[in-house]
Every structure is written in structure tokens, then in C-alpha cells.
């Protein structure tokens, strides 16, 4: 294998079925001003989507190239991937956001790398609900999106990341308070029965009951005895 082939294999990774660059080498440089304008338009589109009753498809789809890929991970055995602008609009921004029309996702920091043409944005996931003491309910931890710019004020790909454990804890609390949207309840019910939501795929088979029991017993033993 040539040195170039070795370098290529080391500096690429898969997101869904699409090969995308990892940290090095640079993808493509873009003018800083163009990337800043892209971010400005993107953030404005997010604000418009939230003000427009959570219609993300209408306000956000235009910011993706025709062949863009949008993905995120849902634990060790499951991944979401939408391929192409239409699928992103229909599934990632459409179906996946149903039941969350009143939620807000404010960005609180943006990092732009014009030498690589990439952007990382950090955001929160705020529910519209409050506890009896008046404190807001939101998903703890950090969430964000990693983008590659594709020109023409559109993203080439987007990879989201969030704290899955804190997201689950938030949904458990909302369920206990009777505040889960009916559409979200139906999605949870579908997943609990072993079904895959649109755009989801298995990374590997789910552990068997025997494997889950073995792992649980092992953790309990460690918690009790430290061994």
C-alpha cells in the first residue's frame, strides 16, 4: 500500500454509507466572510422555524445541497441517516421533529474553521414545560451539530451529537408529569416494540436477553463488591 493510500485510510471515516473526511487533511478552504454569512442565514432560519410553529422543513431544507447527508447516533446499536435534500426535509426535519413543535434549540456558541470549510455549533434542547416549582425542563448536557460547507450557502453534510442519557432522563420526567406529546408517545411505543423509525438503521444486532442479564448482573456485582 502506498503512503498516500495509508494516509487516506487513516483520515477518512464513514457516516452512514457516505465517506466523509475526518479531522485531517483539510477538505476545502472557503472565505471566512462567506462562512460567517452562511452561519448567519442558518441561525435566522432556525429562529424562523421556531417562530413558525416548528415547521423545520419549510424554513431549513433549503440550506442543504441536493446530495447532502444528515445523521446522528442513538446509542451503540442504532444510527439515523437521511440522504439527499428531499429525505432530509421529509424525515430529519419533518417526521423526526413531529411532536416537538413547541421546543426550542438555541445556539450558544459557534466555531468556524474556514481552512477546512467546517462549522461546529453548540445548542440546547429546551422543552416548553416547567416543573411545579417553576423551573424549566430541558435536556441537560451539551448538544451540537458538525457541518461541512458545500458552497452556495448550503451544507454538504451535518452530524448531530447530544447526551443520550440526559435526553432519556428528560423524556422519563415528562412522561411522569403527563406532558409528553401524543406523537412522541407513539414513537416511543413503536421503538419499544422493536420497530425502527424512518431513517433509522441497526449498527449491529441488539443484545439478547441473556446478554443483557449477564451485563446487568456483572454491573450489580461491581457496584456491591467493587470486583
Q: Which class does domain 9-225 fall in?
A: alpha beta
Strand partners, 110: 121
Instruction: Tell me the three-class secondary structure of 60-86, residue by residue.
Output: HHHHEEEEEEEEEECCCCEEEEEECHH
Q: What are phi and psi of 5, to 5 degrees?
A: -65, -40
What residue spans define the domains of the chain? 9-225
- Check residue 8 and give its pLDDT: 40
What is the Cα–Cα distance from 109 to 226, expressed in whole angstroms? 40
Dihedral (Cα; 107, 146, 54, 185), 10-degree rounding: -110
The tens digit of pLDDT for each residue in 217-227 reads: 888 888 888 88
The tens digit of pLDDT for each residue in 160-185 reads: 999 999 999 999 999 999 999 999 99
- Check residue 171 and give its pLDDT: 95
The tens digit of pLDDT for each residue in 82-116 reads: 999 999 999 999 999 999 999 999 999 999 999 99
What is the Cα–Cα distance from 18 to 223, expressed in whole angstroms? 41
Answer with the residue of higher pLDDT: 10 or 51: 51
> 11 with 27: CB under 8 angstroms?
no
Q: Name the residue among 85, 92, 86, 110 with its Cα closest to residue 56.
A: 92
Residue 191 clears pLDDT 90, i.e. is over it:
no
> 95 with 112: CB under 8 angstroms?
no
- Check residue 26 and give its pLDDT: 55
Amino acid at each position: 500500500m502506498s503512503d498516500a493510500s495509508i494516509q487516506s485510510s487513516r483520515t477518512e471515516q464513514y457516516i452512514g454509507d457516505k465517506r466523509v473526511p475526518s479531522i485531517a487533511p483539510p477538505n476545502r478552504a472557503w472565505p471566512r466572510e462567506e462562512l460567517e454569512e452562511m452561519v448567519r442565514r442558518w441561525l435566522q432560519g432556525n429562529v424562523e422555524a421556531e417562530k413558525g410553529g416548528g415547521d423545520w422543513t419549510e424554513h431549513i431544507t433549503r440550506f442543504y445541497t441536493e446530495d447532502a447527508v444528515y445523521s446522528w447516533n442513538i446509542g451503540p446499536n442504532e444510527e439515523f441517516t437521511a440522504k439527499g435534500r428531499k429525505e432530509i426535509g421529509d424525515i430529519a426535519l419533518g417526521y423526526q421533529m413531529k411532536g416537538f413543535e413547541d421546543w426550542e434549540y438555541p445556539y450558544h456558541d459557534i466555531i468556524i474553521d474556514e481552512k477546512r470549510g467546517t462549522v461546529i455549533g453548540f445548542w440546547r434542547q429546551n422543552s416548553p414545560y416547567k416543573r411545579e416549582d417553576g423551573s424549566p425542563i430541558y435536556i441537560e448536557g451539551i448538544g451540537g451539530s458538525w457541518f461541512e460547507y458545500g458552497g452556495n450557502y448550503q451544507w454538504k453534510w451535518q452530524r448531530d451529537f447530544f447526551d443520550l442519557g440526559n435526553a432519556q432522563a428528560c423524556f422519563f420526567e415528562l412522561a411522569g408529569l403527563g406532558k409528553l406529546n401524543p406523537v412522541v408517545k407513539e414513537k416511543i411505543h413503536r421503538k419499544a416494540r422493536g420497530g425502527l423509525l424512518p431513517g433509522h438503521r441497526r449498527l449491529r444486532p441488539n443484545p439478547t436477553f441473556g446478554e443483557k442479564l449477564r451485563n446487568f448482573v456483572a454491573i450489580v456485582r461491581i457496584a456491591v463488591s467493587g470486583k
